[in-house]
A and B are shown apart, each in its own frame.
Chain A
Amino acid sequence: MNALLILLPAALALGGLGLAAFMWALKNGQFDDLDGAAERILYDDEPTDTR
């Protein structure tokens, strides 16, 4: 029972962290070009800065 008092908040906090990270990524445009992102890794010279 006591273990739950630590484990529950810990699990929720970690999950919440993941959710927050996803929301940030979505807002930051990380999901705007999924096809392009998959291809870009194959070309090592990054010609321009990102937006």
Chain B
Amino acid sequence: MRGDGADELCLLVPDMHCGGCVAEIEKRLAAVPGVASARANLSNRQVAVAFLHGTTDADALIAAVAGAGFEATPYDPAMLASRDDAEEKALLRALAVAGFAAANVMLLSVGVWAGSDMDPATRDLLHWVSALIALPAVAYAGRPFFRAAWQALSARAVTMDVPIALAVLLAAGMSLYETMHGGAHAYFDASVTLLFFLLIGRYLDRQARRKATSAAEKLLLLNASHAMVLDDDGNRRAVPLAEIAVGMKVALAPGDRFPVDGRVVEGRADIDNQLISGETAPHAVQAGDAVHAGTINRNGALVVQVTATGDDTLLGEIGRLVRQAEQARGGYVRLADRLAAVYAPAVHIVAAATFAGWMLAGSDWRQALLAAVAVLIITCPCALGLAVPVVQVVAAGRLFQRGILLKSGDALERLAAVDQVVFDKTGTLTDGQPVLVNADRLSAEDLRLAAALAKHSRHPLARALHGHADGDVPLTDWREEPGRGVRARLEGIEVRLGSRAWSGNADADDIDSGPELWLRRGDAMPLRLRFADRPRGDAAEVVSGLGLPTEILSGDRATVVAKVATALGIGAWRADQRPADKTQRLRELADDGHRVLMIGDGLNDAAALAAAHVSMAPAAAADVSQTSADLIFQGRKLAPVAEALTTARRARALMTQNFGLALAYNLVAVPLAVAGLATPMVAAIAMSSSSLLVTLNALRLRGQA
């Protein structure tokens, strides 16, 4: 709430993906009475809405966005003002300063190189001006590297930051000394361009990581922060989740997500259990039944007595499994870090040897140090610093265009090494949305009646019928009975659409036939509407196209899993898997030396996603699963899985090539530096051209279809 009587609400709209969406959403929101302004941010898919206090509420705004065809979720922006954003801005500022300094110092240096017959006084002047620009720039823009190098040294480790910091500082310091003593060579340009290029690499690296986390990580913050508590005297008050205690009574409206585990004391409703069990069909509860945190109350008003909160809930237990799995995964050593572990010590040794060699050869310490600094500058991993981030950015951009969000930079490297794929069933291989499968056995009239009855219900099975609505059916007295179904009157006769017990034929055989609804007119024989969760349209094609061993791990019943496995041609499957079973299976596979790609969406998959070598989740997945997964894909197709694998393999090939190119440059240039032939001009040319080459090579990924 803001002081001037205006409220601000932040909405997350994950599906907003083009300028058209932005314009439409802003237009719809601006049309809501009381809204002062609505501004959408396409990069992080958020909308900030300012409205006069008390004129409208979150539900109306969400409905307005829904009118434009998008799902919106409110969130608390304070929780998102992350340190990352501030760090990224700081990097960008450092980059700007380094860029400014590099351009100007280079301008002056070119002057010095061109005027070989230059008056020493003029040369000194140019060097002094360079120093004036370069020294503050190094002090400011070099801080990210100095800090990282210091941290590494404090931890008695040598990372790539150490030679970088050393080279930049030595080059600047040595050049200052040379300038003060009227020397011919100054390396100010080298030290600032080095910083400039390396900062570009750092910034791209960070960007690649942020792009995907922005949508995914933030979803985790959407969990309810308050719950409506019923006092003994019947008053309702909003209480922060942290203060909810066992034994309290909590009231839940239709559409609410349960914040706690509990037992129903009043009301009945259909509960969406999908996140916990992976089952598509909703579950009817009434007084006495247990409900779990994380499930969704579809349609009834409920009062629940709290039996567990926070970490003690089933949800909390899954969270604990996820954390354990994450810790067990251990540190994957990135390609660049593995190289740095070998390269960084080598650089120091060569530089030190150069210094010692020149001293032994009888030259003075200035000349020896100059040669050593030249070695550090030449070997300094300018191109190496860009080799991986540039490829990552291009790959992330390519995946982003195809609706795949890359959450961590090294996920690409891990994905490229995958040799087995494990799928969850519901919502991953299947749409996760039931569809009517026996429409052809119902008369058009019955179907129209069922659709009309279902029209105003939010029950998933009822929603599956919305598409069959056709024309007007004169229904009166429409009512929804949570946990049972809906009923209304048609020309004086009562019609019902709902559960087997309430409106169906209790004597019907094959109890275990999957989700169903029954339609009854008056006392006539009820009709059965069968539903099934269909595989994603291209699932079979994608699975067979992967060319890797596949397996299904599902929490669903064996008969259902077997059917899907057969339809998709997946030989290995396991049903009735609890979250702990799934992680156990993944651990077994890892112990056998497999690098497993896990794809799942449910809360019950979250721990497995964290335990796998690399993981993907659809954008409709549970919040925790999106956070655990390394990649998130959008849309109703499974094709992004194949696309991600292909892109990852190409990206890894390009990274390896880039390392090769960068190292080849060093092999040519280092002998020159050791011999003391690497003038500042040679260093500048080697640095710029190798960086350029690496960048161009990475851009090839963009062109490939």
A residues whose Cβ falls under 8 Å from a Cβ of B: 1, 4, 8, 11-12, 15-16, 18-19, 22-23, 26, 31-36, 38-40, 42-43, 45, 47-51
In the complex, A22→B119 CA distance in Å? 37
* Cross-chain contact B43 with A33 (CB below 8 angstroms): yes
Q: Of all chain A residues, which has the CB nearest B107?
A: A11
Q: Of all chain A residues, which has the CB nearest B88?
A: A31
- Interfacial residues of chain B within 1-24, with CB under 8 A of chain A in the complex: 18-20, 22-23
* Cross-chain contact B23 with A51 (CB below 8 angstroms): no
- Is there a chain A Cβ closer than 8 Å to B314's Cβ? no
In the complex, A29→B96 CA distance in Å? 16
* Cross-chain contact A32 with B41 (CB below 8 angstroms): yes
B residues whose Cβ falls under 8 Å from a Cβ of A: 18-20, 22-23, 26-27, 30, 37-44, 48, 89, 92-93, 96-97, 100, 103-104, 107-108, 119, 122, 125, 129, 133
CB-CB < 8 A to A15: which residues of B? 100, 103-104
Q: Which of B38, B89, B100, B103 makes the CB contact (< 8 A) with A47? A: B38
Q: Select the residue from A34, A47, A51 with max chain B CB neighbours within 10 A.
A: A47
In the complex, A11→B103 CA distance in Å? 11
Q: Of all chain B residues, which has the CB nearest A40?
A: B19
In the complex, A33→B122 CA distance in Å? 46
* Cross-chain contact B38 with A48 (CB below 8 angstroms): yes
In the complex, A43→B103 CA distance in Å? 37
Contact A31-B100, Cβ < 8 Å, known A11-B107, A39-B42, A43-B20: no
* Cross-chain contact B133 with A39 (CB below 8 angstroms): no
In the complex, A8→B697 CA distance in Å? 37
CB-CB < 8 A to A18: which residues of B? 100
* Cross-chain contact B30 with A23 (CB below 8 angstroms): no
CB-CB < 8 A to B107: which residues of A? 11
In the complex, A15→B132 CA distance in Å? 14
* Cross-chain contact B100 with A50 (CB below 8 angstroms): no
In the complex, A34→B166 CA distance in Å? 35
**Majority secondary structure, B binding face:** helix
* Cross-chain contact B43 with A35 (CB below 8 angstroms): yes
Q: Which of A42, A45, A50 makes the CB contact (< 8 A) with B19? A: A42
Q: Which of A4, A43, A45 makes the CB contact (< 8 A) with B122? A: A4
Nearest chain B CB to A9 CB, angstrom units: 9
In the complex, A39→B38 CA distance in Å? 17
Give 7 new A-B contacts, CB below 8 A, not counting A4-B125, A36-B41.
Answer: A4-B122, A15-B104, A26-B89, A36-B22, A39-B18, A48-B26, A51-B39
CB-CB < 8 A to A38: which residues of B? 19
Nearest chain B CB to A22 CB, angstrom units: 5
In the complex, A11→B119 CA distance in Å? 22
In the complex, A36→B44 CA distance in Å? 9
Nearest chain B CB to A5 CB, angstrom units: 9
Contact A45-B48, Cβ < 8 Å, known A23-B96, A33-B43: no
In the complex, A32→B39 CA distance in Å? 12
Nearest chain A CB to B42 CB, angstrom units: 3
Q: Which of B22, B44, B103, B122 makes the CB contact (< 8 A) with A39? A: B22
Q: Which of A4, A12, A26 makes the CB contact (< 8 A) with B133? A: A12
* Cross-chain contact A48 with B41 (CB below 8 angstroms): no
Nearest chain B CB to A27 CB, angstrom units: 8
* Cross-chain contact B48 with A51 (CB below 8 angstroms): yes
In the complex, A48→B25 CA distance in Å? 12
In the complex, A31→B91 CA distance in Å? 13
CB-CB < 8 A to B119: which residues of A? 1
Nearest chain A CB to B676 CB, angstrom units: 30
Q: Which of A19, A39, A40, A47 makes the CB contact (< 8 A) with B97? A: A19
Q: Which of B19, B43, B133 makes the CB contact (< 8 A) with A43? A: B19
Contact A47-B20, Cβ < 8 Å, known A12-B104, A23-B93: no
Contact A47-B48, Cβ < 8 Å, known A4-B122, A39-B18: no
* Cross-chain contact B42 with A49 (CB below 8 angstroms): no
> Sorted from nearest, which 6 A-B pairs have the closest CB atoms?
A39-B19, A36-B42, A48-B37, A43-B23, A33-B41, A35-B42
